[in-house]
């Protein structure tokens, strides 16, 4: 029996049986004593009791209490240092993420459901047609099934917070349709089932593995949140089919580890039901990459072997992030899940190298990744939507697909668990406040696919699938990013805390209520109150906990050059270092208050000297939030190409509750160049003619919510006296 199958009823039965046995021995001892029995019988009785108690203690020691229903089920993951809390154990109560969750609950999820379950998105229609419940043909991209599964997953995260039974009933109706669409042998891919001219696994471009991964993951989450097996049974049947097809590792099927969400899904299914075949298959998909230099064949047409699809180099030998950023980061996240179960050193060594390459050489100041729409890898393989050379970081043509940015946070959440180091949570936070949220409008109904750092006069309007518009769109034909973002916003509370060996880590800050169990089974309840990220003051109140000492790990963000921590108003006297966890271990009691203060200084950020596009330019950052300037805050008919930041300008922060959904803005003087000579490709230069102008900088995630506009994150900086003229 797998650990998740030890439900409360079974545990109650087990404890009662142990209690009955012990009581029986007690009665036997009393009888023996009354009958004048010898001491040997009594000793044997006592010895048997001790054996039973040792067995019970051993059982309890190996049973994890707090994370069987986490986003990642780490209950038996030996190589994870910080383990997931249960979904729903942390709920947002006030402030930034509470507001975002409310938009997800009331706007994002319902609106997306209307799209996907109607004739616009057509995703549910595809399942109905495959189930024989509707006439028609498949519509949407090959990966559209996966989009629907991600939306169902988002619904479950919302339900875990609000307990709305109508939402579960609705989802169960959809699951019933999905189950009817599934073939008897477990195959389930509507984009193939509904096309008579396409065979199963004919070509990896049909994204069958991608859809499978999201099916397995969504089903596991549904089971953990609801306890129902209807979706899980579909997933198990499908995974059994995958194993029958791919575990023999024939030459034909060796190329199908493409866009590899199935690795994460298989590991999560293994963690859920305990069938080791699924973990074995996940590892097979990792091992298939780069193991042979076979010629391209019919299965690889459209996506040839090479860096684009992570196939040139075996994973364990990889030194750099290459190819399609989403494919790469889903792959890394899956490998991290496998390592969490196997502890294979070659896997973690490769993951560490790849993380360093992404975070230190190919990641934007917003946490975004995937520098180019089209380009070439360092091995000269053609790539799309992905990684190119280190430090090659264009701003205006930066692709930075929303999915890629989200995948970056997913990968870092896993690395946080494996290593227990705060630098991974730093990246999670950076993505969440910047390059993830920029992918959706403030009201939650319009979407960006790509997220550049500069927009000039509609410069992105050149894509065939409405993925690079200069404004957010209510529906994207390529609909992978919107449900990915919505499920992330809906589940981020489960990333806020992790369980350490004897305590709790605080990974993300925000107003919330946590009620969970530590790894020893003891209950803990606390409340976090803060206006973060607009204010750096955070209060964490202990409302219930065990009497024995345990640790509280508080993340000190890398951007926080100074910080203070107090317990009940007294200096905690612990080591505080930027980019690490501050550790407080003590006997906690109800009513203890931890006060954290991060000074929210406004800083200017410059890029590495090898990033040519931002040399002599700076970005503005306050706390974890990156800022930009856009044309609504400039004089009419002013282009951002003529904007310079004065290094002498005083920058001031102000929270505006009724502006852009409630944000802190930054005001300061900029310089506008009045003698621009852009009519020519190259012009002779003279001393520029500047005029000063006081403008407002807004959080990057909030741009393009006031109509079409130009925007830039990085600005050339001028050190010296401001222009004499004032507009």
- Whether the pLDDT of residue 49 is over 60: the answer is no
- Enumerate the β-bridge partners of residue 679: none
Residues 6+ apart with CB under 8 A from 23: none
User: What confidence score (pLDDT) does residue 36 get?
Assistant: 46
User: What confidence score (pLDDT) does residue 14 get?
Assistant: 47
- The larger pLDDT score, comparing residue 39 to residue 713, is at 713
Q: Is 263 within 8 Å of 286 (Cβ atoms)?
A: yes
- State the residue for tokens 């750092």: 453
Q: Round to whole Å and give the CA distance between 389 and 613.
A: 14
Q: Round to whole Å and give the CA distance between 398 and 3.
A: 45
Q: Is 494 within 8 Å of 85 (Cβ atoms)?
A: yes
CA gyration radius for the chain?
Answer: 28
Percent of the chain at pLDDT exceeding 70: 87
> Which is it for the CA torsion 322, 325, 328, 329, positive or negative?
positive
User: What confidence score (pLDDT) does residue 31 get?
Assistant: 45
Q: Is 236 within 8 Å of 269 (Cβ atoms)?
A: yes
What is the tens place of the pLDDT at every residue in 560-616? 999 999 999 999 999 999 999 999 999 999 999 999 999 999 999 999 999 999 999
Dig out the tokens for 44 from the structure: 């044997």
Q: Round to whole Å and give the CA distance between 141 and 688.
A: 51
User: What confidence score (pLDDT) does residue 45 get?
Assistant: 53
What is the tens place of the pLDDT at every residue in 373-403? 999 999 999 999 999 999 999 999 999 999 9
Which of 142-146, 237-241, 304-308, 534-538 has the least mean pLDDT?
304-308
The per-residue pLDDT of the chain, averaged, comes to 90
Q: Round to whole Å and give the CA distance between 602 and 606.
A: 13
| DSSP run (H or E) holding 284 | helix 276-287
- Whether the pLDDT of residue 471 is over 80: the answer is no
Q: Helices (H) and strands (E) in the chain — how many of each?
A: 17, 26
User: What confidence score (pLDDT) does residue 687 get?
Assistant: 84
Phi, psi dihedrals of residue 513, rounded to the nearest 5°: -120, 125
Q: Of 514, 573, 571, which is closest to residue 545 (Cα–Cα)? A: 514
| DSSP run (H or E) holding 418 | helix 402-419
Dig out the tokens for 277 from the structure: 């075949």
What is the tens place of the pLDDT at every residue in 540-565? 999 999 999 999 999 999 999 999 99
Q: Round to whole Å and give the CA distance between 424 and 55.
A: 39
User: What confidence score (pLDDT) does residue 4 get?
Assistant: 39
Q: Of 247, 318, 234, which is closest to residue 281 (Cα–Cα)? A: 247
User: What confidence score (pLDDT) does residue 43 get?
Assistant: 56
Q: At what angle do helices 123-130 and 144-162 cross, to 10 degrees?
A: 110
Residues 6+ apart with CB under 8 A from 162: 105
- Whether the pLDDT of residue 234 is over 70: the answer is yes
How many CB atoms within 10 Å of residue 535? 16
Q: Is 227 within 8 Å of 220 (Cβ atoms)?
A: no
Q: Of 340, 335, 488, which is closest to residue 402 (Cα–Cα)? A: 488
Q: Round to whole Å and give the CA distance between 648 and 269.
A: 57
Residue-wise DSSP of 587-616: ---TT-EEEEE----EEEE---TT-GGGTT
What is the tens place of the pLDDT at every residue in 337-354? 999 999 999 999 999 999
- Whether the pLDDT of residue 464 is over 50: the answer is no
- Whether the pLDDT of residue 5 is over 80: the answer is no
What is the tens place of the pLDDT at every residue in 395-426? 999 999 999 999 999 999 999 999 999 999 99
Where are the domains positioned within the chain? Answer: 3-62, 90-295+324-494, 522-597, 602-726
- State the residue for tokens 């310089």: 671
User: What confidence score (pLDDT) does residue 458 get?
Assistant: 57
Residue-wise DSSP of 256-280: ---S-HHHHHHHHHHHHH--HHHHH
- Cα-to-chain-centroid distance, residue 719: 39
CATH 1.20.58, applies to 90-295+324-494: no
Q: Round to whole Å and give the CA distance between 115 and 109.
A: 10
Which of 123-127, 216-220, 642-646 has the least mean pLDDT?
642-646
What is the separation, in whole angstroms, between the first and last Cα of the chain? Answer: 75
- Whether the pLDDT of residue 131 is over 70: the answer is yes
Sheet containing strand 593-597, edge to edge, reads: 90-94, 511-517, 523-530, 537-544, 593-597, 564-567, 570-571
What is the tens place of the pLDDT at every residue in 8-23? 444 444 455 555 555 5
DSSP at 294: P
Distance set, CA 421 to CA 110, 142, 340, 454 (Å):
37, 38, 15, 32
Banded model confidence at residue 151, pLDDT cuts 50, 70, 90: very high
> Would you call 558 helix, strand, or coil by DSSP?
coil
Q: Round to whole Å and give the CA distance between 439 and 406.
A: 10
User: What confidence score (pLDDT) does residue 462 get?
Assistant: 43
- Whether the pLDDT of residue 450 is over 90: the answer is yes
> Would you call 661 helix, strand, or coil by DSSP?
coil
- Encode 609-647: b = buried (16+ Cβ within 10 Å), e = exposed: eebebbeebbbbbbbbbbbbbbbbbbeeebebebbbbbe
User: What confidence score (pLDDT) does residue 206 get?
Assistant: 92
Q: Of 140, 107, 105, 142, which is closest to residue 124 (Cα–Cα)? A: 140
User: What confidence score (pLDDT) does residue 30 get?
Assistant: 46
Mean pLDDT to the nearest integer, 642-671: 95
Residues 6+ apart with CB under 8 A from 165: none
Q: At what angle do helices 123-130 and 165-181 cross, to 10 degrees?
A: 50
Over 229-242, what HEC string results?
Answer: CHHHHHHHHHHHHH
Sequence-separated contacts (24+) of 238-243 with Cβ below 8 Å: 238/182, 238/186, 238/187, 238/188, 238/212, 239/186, 239/265, 239/266, 239/269, 239/275, 239/278, 239/281, 240/186, 240/277, 241/185, 241/186, 241/187, 242/186, 242/212, 242/266, 242/281, 243/277, 243/278, 243/281
Residue-wise DSSP of 488-544: HHHHGGGGSEEEETTEEEE-S-SEEEEEEE-TTS-EEEEEEEE-TTT--EEEEEEEE
pTM value is 0.90
Dig out the tokens for 116 from the structure: 């996907």
Residues belonging to the chain: 727
Q: Is 205 within 8 Å of 302 (Cβ atoms)?
A: yes
User: What confidence score (pLDDT) does residue 254 get?
Assistant: 82
What is the tens place of the pLDDT at every residue in 251-299? 888 877 778 899 999 999 999 999 999 999 999 999 988 876 656 778 8
Distance set, CA 670 to CA 164, 377, 719 (Å):
49, 38, 11
Mean pLDDT to the nearest integer, 61-89: 85
DSSP at 188: -
Dig out the tokens for 430 from the structure: 């950076």
């Amino acid at each position: 029996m797998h650990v998740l199958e030890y439900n409360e009823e079974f545990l109650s039965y087990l404890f009662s049986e142990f209690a009955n046995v012990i009581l029986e021995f007690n009665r036997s001892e009393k009888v023996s004593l009354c009958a004048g029995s010898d001491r040997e019988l009594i000793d044997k009785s006592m010895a048997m009791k001790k054996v039973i108690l040792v067995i019970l203690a051993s059982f309890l020691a190996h049973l994890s209490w707090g994370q069987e229903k986490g986003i990642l089920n780490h209950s038996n993951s030996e190589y994870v240092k910080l383990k997931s809390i249960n979904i729903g154990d942390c709920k947002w109560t006030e402030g930034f993420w509470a507001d975002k969750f409310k938009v997800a609950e009331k706007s994002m999820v319902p609106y997306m459901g209307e799209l996907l379950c109607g004739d616009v998105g057509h995703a549910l229609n595809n399942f109905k047609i495959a189930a024989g419940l509707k006439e028609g043909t498949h519509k949407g991209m090959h990966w559209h099934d996966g989009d629907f599964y991600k939306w169902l997953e988002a619904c479950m995260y919302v339900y875990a917070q609000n307990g709305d039974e109508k939402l579960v009933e609705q989802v169960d109706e959809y699951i019933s349709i999905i189950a009817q669409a599934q073939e008897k042998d477990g195959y389930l891919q509507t984009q193939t089932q509904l096309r008579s001219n396409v065979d199963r696994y004919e070509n990896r471009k049909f994204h069958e593995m991608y859809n499978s991964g999201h099916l397995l993951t969504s089903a596991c989450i549904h089971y953990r949140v609801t306890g129902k097996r209807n979706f899980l049974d579909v997933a198990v049947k499908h995974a059994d089919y995958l194993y029958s097809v791919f575990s023999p590792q024939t030459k034909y099927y060796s190329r199908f580890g493409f866009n590899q969400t199935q690795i994460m899904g298989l590991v999560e299914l293994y963690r859920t039901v305990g069938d080791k075949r699924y973990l074995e298959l996940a590892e097979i998909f990792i091992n298939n990459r780069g193991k042979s230099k076979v010629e391209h064949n019919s299965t690889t047409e459209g996506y040839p072997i090479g860096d684009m699809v992570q196939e040139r180099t075996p994973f364990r030998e990889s030194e750099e992030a290459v190819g399609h950023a989403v494919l790469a980061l889903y792959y890394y996240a899956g490998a991290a899940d496998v390592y969490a179960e196997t502890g294979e050193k070659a896997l973690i060594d490769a993951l560490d190298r790849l993380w360093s390459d992404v975070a230190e050489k190919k990641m934007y100041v917003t946490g975004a990744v995937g520098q180019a729409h089209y380009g070439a890898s360092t091995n000269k393989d053609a790539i799309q939507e992905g990684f190119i050379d280190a430090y090659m970081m264009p701003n205006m043509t930066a692709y930075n697909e929303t999915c890629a940015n989200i995948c970056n946070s997913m990968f870092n959440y896993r690395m946080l668990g494996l290593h227990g180091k705060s630098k991974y949570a730093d990246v999670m936070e950076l993505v969440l406040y910047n390059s993830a949220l920029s992918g959706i409008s403030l009201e939650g109904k319009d979407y960006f696919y790509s997220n550049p750092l500069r927009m000039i006069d509609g410069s992105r309007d050149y894509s065939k699938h409405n993925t690079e518009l200069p404004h957010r769109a209510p529906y994207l034909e390529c609909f992978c990013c919107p449900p990915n973002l919505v499920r992330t916003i809906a589940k981020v509370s489960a990333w806020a805390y992790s369980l350490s060996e004897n305590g709790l880590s605080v990974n993300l800050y925000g107003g919330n209520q946590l009620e969970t169990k530590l790894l020893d089974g003891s209950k803990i309840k606390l409340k976090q109150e803060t206006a973060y990220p607009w204010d750096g003051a955070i209060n964490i109140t202990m409302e219930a906990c065990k009497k024995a000492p345990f640790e509280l790990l508080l993340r000190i963000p890398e951007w926080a050059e100074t910080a203070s921590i107090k317990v009940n108003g007294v200096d905690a006297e612990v080591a505080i270092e930027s980019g690490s966890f501050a550790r407080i271990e003590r006997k906690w009691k109800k009513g203890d208050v931890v006060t954290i203060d991060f000074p929210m200084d406004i800083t200017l950020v410059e890029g590495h000297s090898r990033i040519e596009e931002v040399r002599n330019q700076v970005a503005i950052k306050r706390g974890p939030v990156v800022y930009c300037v856009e044309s609504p805050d400039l004089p009419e008919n002013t282009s951002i190409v003529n904007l310079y930041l004065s290094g002498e300008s005083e920058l001031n922060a102000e929270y505006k509750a009724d502006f852009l959904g409630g944000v802190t803005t930054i005001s300061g003087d900029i310089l506008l160049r009045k003698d621009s000579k852009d009519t020519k490709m190259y012009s002779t230069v003279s001393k520029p003619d500047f005029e000063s102008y006081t403008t407002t900088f807004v959080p990057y995630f909030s741009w393009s919510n006031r109509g079409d506009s130009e925007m830039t994150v990085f600005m050339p900086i001028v050190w010296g006296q401001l222009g004499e003229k004032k507009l």
